Chains A and B, each alone.
Chain A
Amino acid sequence: MPLIKLYANLRTVTGKKELIIPGETIQAMLGTLTQDYPVLARFLFEKEQLLPRVIITINGQTLDPATGLITSVSEKDQIAIFPPVAGG
């Protein structure tokens, strides 16, 4: 199953750096993830839409949040999820 890595305050609220989550698409994985950790929904979604500037990458390639949630994932994929972050 694909590996999901969490960053910044997503770690703080779940107490996890990484998780193995089943799912064939990013959307399915996020569904399972927020079911297991309901608090994450507040950090990732608003009115069931992914919050702007939440960054999801598959093997380091950034997903366009507007269209990319139905992207398929395979067992070997590494998914990283960053809440809105900023820096210089």
Chain B
Amino acid sequence: MTGWNEKILDIDLTTGSIKTYPLDMDMARLFVGGRGLGARLLWDLVGPGVEPLSPENVLIFTNGPLTGTAYQTSNRFSVSTKSPLTGTILDANSGGFWGMQFKKTGFAALIVRGKAEKPVTIEIKDERAEIHPAEELWGMRVSETTSKLGQDKNRRNVLCIGPAGENLSRIAAIMNDGQRALARGGPGAVMGSKNLKAIVVEGNGRTEIADQDQYKFMVYETRKLIAASPLTSQALPEFGTVVMMNLVNNIGALATRNHQHNMFEGAEAISGENLSETYLVKNDACWACPIHCTRISKTSKAEGEGPEFQTTWAFGAQCGIDNLEAVIEANFLCNDLGFDTISAGNTIGCAMELSEKGFVNSDLRFGRADLLASTLEDMATRRGLGADMADGSWRLATKYGAPQLSMSVKALELPAYDPRGMQGQGLLFATSNRGACHMRGNMLGLEVLGLPKLIDRFQVQGKSSYVILNQNSSAAIDSLVLCKFTSMAVADEYFARTLTAVTGIKYATGDMIRVGERVWNLERLYNLREGFTSRDDTLPARLLNEPAPDGPSKGWVVHLEPMLKEYYRARGWDANGVPLPKKLAELGLKEL
């Protein structure tokens, strides 16, 4: 078989056992890799009722058949686990270099089980894995850990947790070569719960390709398409993702001050345009990526990667802060402490509203940029109110008697888009399998950018089919595992043809969407098995009941109920959101 590494590395930190065994190739063909393969493995390994921070939970790191082939953006990899933040199935993926390097070690997946007695690291060099003691690394921040473990751009790569993960913050990320993250849903806390500080990879393997000539043609064609699209050749390289700030604010869909408002008067100050004029040093790229959307920024205190749009929004508009320097430094600090920036910023925004309304006693107020750094430090070390904030906005707001002030779905904090101004985005957030997320599909393209066409963002009827297609497509791309920005220039058909060239197995465009649908339904089954119901497919009450107060979206709430009914029906699920046997049979999931 070509494309896939056909071996799984399975490490039990309780016993110290290290095993390898063959990848089930029927499973690989159906679920491909990344998110899909991770979800299918997790289904078998972590059953209902397992406490996410117990030794019974597992971390599953996966690559895909395209990973490391040098096809554009084939650098990504995925981690799957049960989320300690949401209790749902979780996967998070990341770019950079680690995924490519992991593929070169010869494994398709790494499963980490159990709990080490004392802090350890895992080192994988080609097909050999070792567990090393790491007590001297425990307590260390991410940048220092990454450096101590000898990270070397494309030769030796390091995943690690910082103090946030060690202290079991449910919004802790696993950091990738210091500045990228497997961020959402708290995978860093799962790693911390296993006393696993880091995973280091070095490899020399090559991915075998079934049809070299066709593969080279697909790389050539894809390069042309990325170069021809103004999105991937101009907008993203020149301004990065944060160029969205002014646009989303302009249409009245920029969540502000914990979603109390939907426009931010300070948007221009934290915009991509202003970042380019002030703190931007240069742009950069992941391995095998021609897009170069990464920002390298420098303030008077520090220099590093970022910030991305969502991060800039979370510490900016959501906290009522228009001080770009403070936002950039909060991003750097999150990277070093090992936090998901979206959840961290949102949780601070929630705490600001709780404080202003008297639910908690703290100095936090909207606009207090001077408190960002110390608050993040308190969260990472669980000091004072930070001890409660470390577990995200939903647990924080619930503890202090105001759960309605947590802007989250299934306890995962919302991203920047206020769905009162983007109805389809509201349905997408409500039905996302890992909680509110703009990476499980994103209606920004259809409702705002006109990609591939513009539809009315306030329209309710008929939205579900667009949302479903978007969700399935994103699950397919996450299973390949490629960067979603590629799909702004390259049609799904190209991914199917490239997968065919690499693996030698015929995949048509429809097959890829079917992979995505299969993955989505499997994730749904997982959450149902955990006890989630249609009641969890909802949004914060504020977005359902309080009309947007500002600008062009003024007066709108999210009309979720009719969209949700339509969505369940279009998905082939019953009125309670349970996949019907016919749908499961159609997707090859009948036996689950």
A7, A65, A80, A88 interface centre (most CB from chain B within 10 Å): A88
With a CB–CB cut-off of 8 A, which chain A residues contact B272?
Answer: 8
Determine whether the beta carbon of A59 is less than 8 Å from that of B235: no
Determine whether the beta carbon of A88 is less than 8 Å from that of B235: no
Q: Size range of the interface on A?
A: 20 to 34
Mask of A1-21 contacts with B, CB within 8 angstroms, 1/0: 000000111011000000000
Q: Count B interface residues, CB 8 Å.
A: 40
Mask of A72-88 contacts with B, CB within 8 angstroms, 1/0: 00000000101111111
Determine whether the beta carbon of B273 is less than 8 Å from that of A86: no
Closest Cβ of chain A to B136, distance in Å, is: 37
Closest Cβ of chain B to A36, distance in Å, is: 21
Q: A55-B449, A57-B251, A65-B450 are in contact. Are A83 and B230 (CB under 8 A)?
A: yes
- Per the bound structure, the CA–CA distance linking A86 and B488 in Å amounts to 8
Determine whether the beta carbon of A57 is less than 8 Å from that of B250: yes
Determine whether the beta carbon of B231 is less than 8 Å from that of A85: yes
Closest Cβ of chain A to B343, distance in Å, is: 16
Determine whether the beta carbon of B236 is less than 8 Å from that of A55: no
Asked if B1 is at the interface (CB within 8 A of a chain A CB), the reply is no
- Per the bound structure, the CA–CA distance linking A25 and B242 in Å amounts to 31
Q: Which of B238, B250, B251, B450 contacts A53 (CB 8 A)?
A: B450
**What is the chain A residue whose CB lies nearest that of B263?**
A60
With a CB–CB cut-off of 8 A, which chain B residues contact A61?
Answer: 251, 552
Q: Which of B246, B442, B444, B553 contacts A7 (CB 8 A)?
A: B246
Determine whether the beta carbon of A88 is less than 8 Å from that of B308: yes
With a CB–CB cut-off of 8 A, which chain A residues contact B236?
Answer: 86-87
- Per the bound structure, the CA–CA distance linking A84 and B488 in Å amounts to 11
Asked if B438 is at the interface (CB within 8 A of a chain A CB), the reply is yes
Determine whether the beta carbon of B241 is less than 8 Å from that of A87: yes
With a CB–CB cut-off of 8 A, which chain A residues contact B231?
Answer: 53, 84-86
Q: A11-B273, A61-B552, A62-B457 are in contact. Are A86 and B235 (CB under 8 A)?
A: yes
- Per the bound structure, the CA–CA distance linking A86 and B442 in Å amounts to 12
- Per the bound structure, the CA–CA distance linking A51 and B236 in Å amounts to 17
Asked if B490 is at the interface (CB within 8 A of a chain A CB), the reply is no
Determine whether the beta carbon of B252 is less than 8 Å from that of A60: yes
Asked if A38 is at the interface (CB within 8 A of a chain B CB), the reply is no
- Per the bound structure, the CA–CA distance linking A72 and B532 in Å amounts to 50
Closest Cβ of chain B to A53, distance in Å, is: 5
- Per the bound structure, the CA–CA distance linking A76 and B241 in Å amounts to 31
Determine whether the beta carbon of A55 is less than 8 Å from that of B450: yes
Determine whether the beta carbon of A8 is less than 8 Å from that of B238: yes
- Per the bound structure, the CA–CA distance linking A52 and B450 in Å amounts to 8
With a CB–CB cut-off of 8 A, which chain B residues contact A52?
Answer: 450
Determine whether the beta carbon of A62 is less than 8 Å from that of B235: no
Q: Which of B243, B438, B552 contacts A60 (CB 8 A)?
A: B552
Determine whether the beta carbon of A53 is less than 8 Å from that of B449: yes
Closest Cβ of chain B to A67, distance in Å, is: 11
Which chain B residues in 227-282 approach chain A with CB under 8 Å? 229-232, 234-236, 238-244, 246-247, 250-252, 272-273
Determine whether the beta carbon of A86 is less than 8 Å from that of B485: yes
Closest Cβ of chain A to B168, distance in Å, is: 28
Which chain B residues in 450-495 approach chain A with CB under 8 Å? 450-451, 454, 457, 484-485, 488
Closest Cβ of chain B to A39, distance in Å, is: 14
With a CB–CB cut-off of 8 A, which chain A residues contact B232?
Answer: 86
Asked if B448 is at the interface (CB within 8 A of a chain A CB), the reply is yes
Asked if B140 is at the interface (CB within 8 A of a chain A CB), the reply is no
Determine whether the beta carbon of A55 is less than 8 Å from that of B234: no
Closest Cβ of chain A to B291, distance in Å, is: 10
Mask of B484-527 contacts with A, CB within 8 angstroms, 1/0: 11001000000000000000000000000000000000000000
Q: Which of B235, B454, B552 contacts A85 (CB 8 A)?
A: B235
**What is the chain A residue whose CB lies nearest that of B458?**
A61
With a CB–CB cut-off of 8 A, which chain A residues contact B234?
Answer: 9, 83-84
Closest Cβ of chain B to A22, distance in Å, is: 22
Determine whether the beta carbon of A85 is less than 8 Å from that of B251: no
- Per the bound structure, the CA–CA distance linking A60 and B250 in Å amounts to 5
Determine whether the beta carbon of A83 is less than 8 Å from that of B454: no
Determine whether the beta carbon of B273 is less than 8 Å from that of A55: no
A7, A11, A65, A83 interface centre (most CB from chain B within 10 Å): A7
Q: A9-B234, A55-B247 are in contact. Are A88 and B439 (CB under 8 A)?
A: yes
With a CB–CB cut-off of 8 A, which chain A residues contact B4?
Answer: none
With a CB–CB cut-off of 8 A, which chain B residues contact A11?
Answer: 273
17 contacts between A and B (CB under 8 A): A7-B246, A8-B239, A8-B273, A9-B238, A52-B450, A53-B231, A53-B450, A55-B247, A55-B448, A59-B552, A60-B553, A61-B251, A62-B251, A80-B247, A82-B247, A84-B449, A86-B241
Those 10 A-B pairs whose CB atoms lie nearest each other, nearest first: A60-B552, A87-B244, A87-B241, A86-B231, A84-B230, A85-B235, A87-B309, A85-B243, A88-B241, A80-B250
Give me 17 other A-B pairs in contact (C-beta within 8 A), A85-B244, A88-B484 excluded: A7-B246, A8-B272, A8-B273, A11-B273, A12-B238, A53-B230, A53-B450, A53-B451, A55-B247, A59-B551, A62-B251, A82-B250, A85-B243, A87-B235, A87-B242, A88-B308, A88-B442
A-to-B contact residues, CB < 8 Å? 7-9, 11-12, 51-53, 55, 57, 59-62, 64-65, 80, 82-88
B-to-A contact residues, CB < 8 Å? 229-232, 234-236, 238-244, 246-247, 250-252, 272-273, 308-310, 438-439, 442, 444, 448-451, 454, 457, 484-485, 488, 551-553
